[in-house]
Structure 1
Amino acid sequence: MNISVDEVLDFVACSALHQFRYIDIIDVSKTAKLKRANRQSIIEQYDKALHKAASFLFHSMQQGVYPGLHHLSKRWGYLWVQPRSEQEDVRFREASWRDTHEQKRKEGWIKLSKLWEHYRDQSFTPIMIDYQYTLPIGRHTLTGVIDLVRVVRGGNGREHIELVEFLQDDKSAPFLHAKRDWRVTAAAYAFRKLMNVTEEKIVYHGLISGKLIQTSRQEDDFKQLERLLDSIENMRKIGVSIPVFNERCLTCTYQKHCEKGWYTDAKN
């Protein structure tokens, strides 16, 4: 089975969501009436743009330069503001709080400014940045992204390898599932297989809270990931598609397809 980490997370969250998105390939990125990006798709784009902007910071460091704050601001404008100005007529821009895109522009810049401040005076060398991997695990092929791997130099001159995951953490419950985060498990597995070395630390960097939480992964975690992929493959073969009704449904863009009857052909 060929599968991405995003697919794995969607399947674990709700197999019906996985069915709509990856099997039926239903496009719900735009509103039905205005044909503009809906709020949830904007949030998904925002998360990707935020990670790309953070990557710019570390790519600059690889070139021997820590970019100024104005350079980071310019990059954020290129990644977030410019695409929208090219896609929409300025006459239709909303100026109210309902304008999700503008809200995320402001939130994103606050987070990036704090990120810039946090890493400005640290002594480290980025060695893997926004690294896309494809590799075998058991009988499967898994694709995903490693946010950052860096070599950190301590005060005693000793160096250690640290894998960093940037997380849009919830203020009310940050890092709730740090030990069971499949994305980080997959990233640690990929790093060890690709580099033939084991990281000394895995660190979550919460982009909302600013907190740093350390976690770890062992061989048993990788075996659990492989068993999870086996289970997903088996359930896909027999067509398992069971909706998980909870608070996530409030923001799920496939909600209307579940309301039609998740047990019917969602395309119709």
Structure 2
Amino acid sequence: MRTNYHTHTIRCHHATGSDEDFIISAIKGGYKELGFSDHTPWKYDTNYVSDIRMLPEELPEYIESLRLLREKYKNQISIKIGLECEYFPNYLHWLKGIIKEYQLDYIIFGNHHFHTDEKFPYFGRHTDTIEMLELYEESAIEGMESGLFAYLAHPDLFMRSYSEFDHHCKLVSKHICRVAKQLNLPLEYNIGYADYNETNGITNIPHPEFWKVATHEGCTAIIGVDAHHYQYLETPVYYDRARQTLQNLGMKVIDKIPFLNEK
């Protein structure tokens, strides 16, 4: 079954298309279930304002819009409502309140920053030292062990900026994958950059060497489109290619996640 639980909206300031555009494209692309997981707002203790996520006051409209569309298209596709969240220890109490208040179906773990983006840079652009690589590992493991998340999105995100998959990357990958296996937490095979990689002839994520490690450690994969443009859901080529790649590796692949109201 073709599913995707990693879908963004224009509220994050770097996606294109209305909520309904994404749903219509998913139907055209043959998806049976579409989960929205836009970048979570955070109610910061400081005056910091992020330019890659919605504001807390925008969250009610996000939920309302998706609930209305879920009802409108209920006979054509199943819609789930979630968020993509970092592991920010100081703000988890607020996040747990939001999950309960809005009865979210799920949240996924996007390990973008170490503990807060108020002062720590984006891992996908600034993991160019061993120290940053180790911070990525630390926060990835802490977040997975929190028990909050349905899966770890783009677990190999550090390879977007780290120069080569060296000995240090292999160790970090092993540690992350072993914890994921122990916790029975799926790892996302993220195809959000597949077209960009192909156009530019580069390899970053999904990184083949990381996924060799994940296979060796017995991890479970789930394919994530990480859709920032609605039409990306209409093109099955990258999804089907990902499924074939994982099959060739011999990885266990799932297409459904447990939802919070089912636990």
Fold shared, TM-score > 0.5 on shorter chain: no
Q: Over alpha carbons, which structure has the higher Rg? A: 1
TM-score by length of 2: 0.29
TM-score by length of 1: 0.28
